[in-house]
Amino acid sequence: MIAGILERNPRLANWIWGFKPPERSPIILVHRRVYILPARLGMLFAATLAILLVGAINYALALGFALTFLLAGLGLVGMVHTARNLARIGVSIGRAEPVFAGESAQFRLYLDGRVRYDRPAILARHVGSGSQFVIDIPAQSVVEVVLAVPARRRGWLPLGRVLLETRFPLGLFRAWSYVEPDARCLVYPRPQRSPLPAPLAEAAAGALRSQAAGNDDFSGLRAYQFSDSPRHVAWKAVARSDDMLTKQFTGESAAELWLDWRLLPAALELEQRLSRLAGWVLAAERGGALYGLRLPGLEIAPARGGAHAAACLQALALYQPS
Amino acid sequence: MKGVPHPLSPEFRLVTMRDLLLLCGSLALVVAPHATRAPWWITLLALCLYAWRIHYSLNPAPLPARWLVISIAALAMLGVWLEYRTLFGRQPGIVLLMLFSGLKLLETRTHRDAAAAAFLGYFLIITNFLYTQSIPTALAMGAAVFAITATLIGLSAPNRAPRANLGTAALLLAHAVPAAAALFLLFPRVQGPLWGLPQDAYAGMTGLSETMSPGTLSRLALSDSIAFRAEFDGAPPGPSLRYWRGPVLWDFDGRTWRIGAQSVASFAAPAGSSATYRYSVVLEPHNRAWLFALETAAMLPQGSRYTTDGMLLAGAPVRGRMRYDLSSVITPRSALDERPGDLARALRLPAGSNPRARVLAAEWRAASRSDSEVLARALGFLRQGGYVYTLEPPLLGTDSVDEFLFGTKAGFCEHFSSAFVVLMRAAGLPARVVTGYQGGELNPVDRIITVRQSDAHAWAEVHVSGHGWRRFDPTAAAAPNRVDSGLARSLPETQQALFMRRELEWLRSLRHQWEAVAHKWNVWVLGYNPERQRELMSHLGMRNADWRGLIAMLFTVLGITTALLLAWSLRRMPRPDPVQRAWRAFCSKLAARGIERSPSEGPRDFAERAARSLPSARRAILRIGALYIGLRYGREANPRRASDLRRLVREFRPA
């Protein structure tokens, strides 16, 4: 119920958890942000203490009292130590490599112990996805946690809320804290495989140069189609990747390939268009072609190489129709 | 939480082999003292259960099925019932818990099971205290608490080095001590018990009983355990004067002496007291109401009663260690106004028993002119009759006095006193048997006299007309050493227990040291009760502290200790750098005005850009930027400048 209320009132949640998301890293978990409550084992422990106390009173056992009170003190001390295990940890973020929609973004979190003692058994859990790890932070060191967050849609994927929790040392208390660092991951559109457009497809659209696809010169690879001759299948490329690719040949070398928004059927929806274009970028890059990208209001000049592909995919990921 | 198993939740975490072995070890530590007291088959069964579980953790296989564990539990309960004919006494309860600890281990798979077993271990510790609360027990159980705590820590951090976990356990326990001490001293103590205790709750307490028959005291005298300790203000009386008076036995059936009916009298201090001794007694629990006093008590301890035959009775059976203050005078007791009914009772003998002793007594009576002559003849008879004082007297039949006096001629103090009283009664002198302790060992370390069960003694009181009841010790007549130098010197050496041997003087002195410590422990730790708590409170200036005052004080102390601990836990943590914090506050203030620092932008560039965008605040911005650069990248660490920076940032309000 409380979780529901907090979900509906983000401002209340921010006030309670003691921060306003997203936060710049490094984030230090100050004591005010560390919450602590008895865990279920703590309740069992309290029940044990109650029985011990009654026994000590009933049989007037001085050492029974001593034992009961030592254990009560242990519980109290355990609470402070549990909070201490989490307090003032530094959380900073690492680079999250871009992924395609449908894959998982790999967010890197660096947990800095910042103290001369170790901090064992700390759970880092991504609240949204449930992706989680239990780690031990050795004294004076930083530990990397990679949280896999499913990327469903293209664009920027914020990391969201991360729970840090510990029950060390006695397991009687559960101390936790939430962080929401300003980490984000670029999500490319989900690539859809379709045959590459012909090089210089602009010609077909009424441009100056006309060049038909031929069998003379290798110009690149495209996705395999049933009608393709087995002789043209790029077996070496197939061996490297799982895709069936067909070699493309043109009459002229060094052809420029334009991956143009307008080449796609007009009936296609926006996301599908972007998916097709992303597929083309991948295919063109794999084929080693020189390719450019054209979107409404945006043009990336033909080039090749990883940086170029990344730029094209980023443009597709962040494309907003005007 | 969205259905994903929580990796820290104890229900899902499996116990590692290391933690399981540690758990078995620490539980074994707790159960070991019980194992020596339990019936052999239960010890064996518990051992098998532990070994079985260890076998499973060394050779991974599915644990035994639940029905198997439950049927073992049922069989064990049946066995315990057959052994004790009940399941609810103290001993059967403990034995069952012992078995359940093994059974719990057998179904321990997860962290939660293991933690529950560890808590059971904590509980089993207290059951050991039902038997003994001595210093060695406390140390052993302290070790067990440490082991169980280390186990719990290991369960929460399975990947951590065991050494580190032991270190954490020691740290936690050390930190828990102040809070534990505060709770021990200040937690409002209630005088137990809260409800009826099982029948056998006080089994195993040794001491004198309401009856005495041949062999009772000689068996008791083999026990080395302590009956009570007495601490005198000033010099204690010599050993031959230390008669600690206990139950008075009136009724004889030819073999066994009994207390019989008692009536309470009002106490009158003995007249003509010469030397008065003030002392306090710490009495070990003996599950009887009587208290022991040096003959003759000159006052009554608080809350006690007095009987017509001079016994001191506590309000209830002494079931916890009890302390009382007393004063006594060493003077022949003289109560002239003895009731005639009592004197008739002190002459009664069972018809037809011990005929030879009666004949002998009648001869003495006939040949004597006075009571004192009869007494002298009787004592002389015992002195010269060739009687042997021994801890191992031969067994006697129904006419025990005749057999002893004319047959075996070897006995312990109960034989001598019994025979003497029978002879006196047969000669027409009212007499009774008094049991108690004689002597006691003076500890040179703390000047405390320790009286053991081995000092148990029985003597006689004879009513001499004109003098009242007078003490006669027939044992002293036969074995004078017994009274002057204690049991050890009056027995042949082969019958002496190890601690009694003379040649082991170093052992004795070690023993004295140890007992001085043990006495302090008894008085200050084990003897801490509601009364002591009130004393402590009035020392602290809280007179008449009730439970509310105690609770308030307790919470104050606990709050302070916890706050100190919290301060300690934060002490070694670097605080967020104040300079860095000020700079971040500055950046966010600018960001609120739409001037955001890009990650690649250095502080100088950013400050200049911000100054250009906000000309009104130009000076402040550039000043803050310069201060920050100086503090962050410069060599100077000037606290004045850092506070300047913080103040400037605080006051910075971009319009």
What value does the mean pLDDT of chain B take?
84
Average pLDDT over residues B473-494: 71
Taking alpha carbons only, the member of A248, A174, A186, A241 closest to residue A217 is A248
Identify the weakest region by mean pLDDT among A278-292, B300-314, B403-417, B487-501.
B487-501
Average pLDDT over residues A278-285: 90
Q: Do A41 and B112 touch (CB under 8 A)?
A: yes
CA distance, residue A179 to nearest chain B CA (Å): 16
The verdict on B111 touching A (C-beta cutoff 8 Å) is: yes
Residue A252, pLDDT above cutoff 60: no
Nearest chain A residue to B179 by CA distance is A73
Q: Are strands B456-464 and B468-472 parallel, antiparallel or unpaired?
A: antiparallel
Residue A218, pLDDT above cutoff 50: yes
CA distance, residue B133 to nearest chain A CA (Å): 7
Identify the weakest region by mean pLDDT among A307-321, B3-17, B154-168, B393-407.
B3-17
Residues in chain A closer than 8 A to B317 (CB atoms): none
pLDDT of residue A237: 67
Q: Do B179 and A69 touch (CB under 8 A)?
A: yes
**What token pair was written down for A17?**
């958890």
Residue B530, pLDDT above cutoff 70: yes
CA distance, residue A168 to nearest chain B CA (Å): 6
Residue B139, pLDDT above cutoff 90: yes
Measured from the Cβ of residue B449, the count of other Cβ atoms closer than 10 Å reads: 23
Q: Do A70 and B176 touch (CB under 8 A)?
A: yes
Residue B434, pLDDT above cutoff 80: yes
Cβ atoms of B447 and B518 within 8 Å: the answer is no
The verdict on B271 touching A (C-beta cutoff 8 Å) is: no
Taking alpha carbons only, the member of B231, B224, B290, B240 closest to residue B453 is B224
Q: How far apart are CA A295 and CA A317, in angstroms?
A: 12
pLDDT of residue B1: 42
**What token pair was written down for A76?**
């109290």
Coil, helix or strand for B365?
helix
Confidence of residue A211 (pLDDT cuts 50, 70, 90): very low
Residues in chain A closer than 8 A to B153 (CB atoms): 168-170
Share of chain A above pLDDT 90, in %: 38
Q: Do B190 and A167 touch (CB under 8 A)?
A: no
The CA distances from residue B531 to A183, A225, B546, in Å, are 64, 97, 12
Cβ atoms of B473 and B463 within 8 Å: the answer is no
What contacts B127, CB < 8 A, 6 or more positions away? B34, B94, B97
Average pLDDT over residues B299-321: 85
pLDDT of residue A251: 44
Residue A220, pLDDT above cutoff 60: yes
3-state helix, strand, coil in chain A (%, to 5): 35, 30, 35
Cβ atoms of B27 and B114 within 8 Å: the answer is no
Residues in chain B closer than 8 A to A41 (CB atoms): 10, 112, 115
Nearest chain B residue to A121 by CA distance is B157
Residue A205, pLDDT above cutoff 60: no
Which ipTM value was assigned to this complex? 0.79
pLDDT of residue A247: 66
Identify the weakest region by mean pLDDT among B135-144, B393-402, B454-463.
B393-402
Q: Do B179 and A44 touch (CB under 8 A)?
A: no
Taking alpha carbons only, the member of B266, B417, B273, B378 closest to residue B334 is B273
Average pLDDT over residues B287-296: 87
Q: How far apart are CA B294 and CA B486, in angstroms?
A: 16
Residue B565, pLDDT above cutoff 80: yes
Share of chain B above pLDDT 70, in %: 90
Q: Do B177 and A67 touch (CB under 8 A)?
A: no
Cβ atoms of B298 and B242 within 8 Å: the answer is no
B contact residues 276-335, partner A, Cβ 8 Å cutoff: 319-320
**What token pair was written down for A304?**
């090749």
Identify the weakest region by mean pLDDT among A81-95, B325-339, B481-495.
B481-495
Give me the half-sphere count of Cα atoms (radius 13 Å) on the Cβ side of residue B372.
Answer: 5
Residues in chain A closer than 8 A to B565 (CB atoms): 77, 80
Taking alpha carbons only, the member of A146, A158, A152 closest to residue A184 is A158
Residue A209, pLDDT above cutoff 60: no
Residues in chain B closer than 8 A to A28 (CB atoms): 576
What contacts B574, CB < 8 A, 6 or more positions away? A88, A114, A115
Average pLDDT over residues B250-264: 86
Q: How far apart are CA B537 and CA B487, in angstroms?
A: 44
Average pLDDT over residues A65-73: 96
Residue A159, pLDDT above cutoff 50: yes
Average pLDDT over residues B536-553: 80
**What token pair was written down for A181?**
């660092």
Kindly list the strands in the beta sheet with B468-472, ordered across the sheet, starting from the edge strand earlier in the chain: B293-294, B243-249, B431-438, B456-464, B468-472
- For an interface test with A, the pick among B91, B172, B565 (most A C-beta atoms closer than 10 Å) comes out as B172
Angle at the Cα of B410 from the Cα atoms of B409 and B412, rounded to 5 degrees: 130
pLDDT of residue A203: 42
Residue B12: what are its φ and ψ, rounded to 5°? Answer: -105, -20
**What token pair was written down for B221?**
């005298």
pLDDT of residue A204: 41
The verdict on B163 touching A (C-beta cutoff 8 Å) is: no
Q: Do A67 and B145 touch (CB under 8 A)?
A: yes
Nearest chain B residue to A117 by CA distance is B572
The CA distances from residue A63 to A49, B118, B382, B525, in Å, are 14, 19, 49, 8
Which has more confidence, B194 or B603?
Answer: B603
Angle formed by the axes of helices B90-106 and B40-58, nearest 10°: 20
Confidence of residue A43 (pLDDT cuts 50, 70, 90): very high
Average pLDDT over residues A86-106: 89
CA B207 to chain centre: 17
Residue A10, pLDDT above cutoff 60: yes
What value does the mean pLDDT of chain A take?
82
Identify the weakest region by mean pLDDT among A192-206, B80-94, B519-533, B636-650.
A192-206
Ranked by mean pLDDT, which of A38-52, A267-281, B399-413 comes out on top? A38-52
Confidence of residue A23 (pLDDT cuts 50, 70, 90): confident
Average pLDDT over residues B228-244: 88
Share of chain B above pLDDT 90, in %: 22
- For an interface test with A, the pick among B112, B119, B202 (most A C-beta atoms closer than 10 Å) comes out as B119
Average pLDDT over residues B138-151: 95
pLDDT digits (tens, 9 = 90+) for B33-66: 998 888 889 899 999 999 998 888 888 778 888 8
Q: What string of DSSP letters covers A254-320?
A: S-EEEEEGGGS-TTS-HHHHHHHHHHHHHHHHHHT-EEEEEETTEEEEEE-SHHHHHHHHHHHHH--
Taking alpha carbons only, the member of B124, B196, B103 closest to residue A48 is B124
pLDDT of residue A281: 92
Residue A129: what are its φ and ψ, rounded to 5°? Answer: -105, -15
Identify the weakest region by mean pLDDT among A158-172, A194-208, B547-561.
A194-208
Q: Are strands A155-158 and A184-188 parallel, antiparallel or unpaired?
A: antiparallel
CA distance, residue A190 to nearest chain B CA (Å): 26
Sign of the dihedral defined by the CA atoms of residues A264, A270, A273, A278, in that order: positive
pLDDT of residue A151: 92
**Would you give the DSSP letter of residue B1?**
-
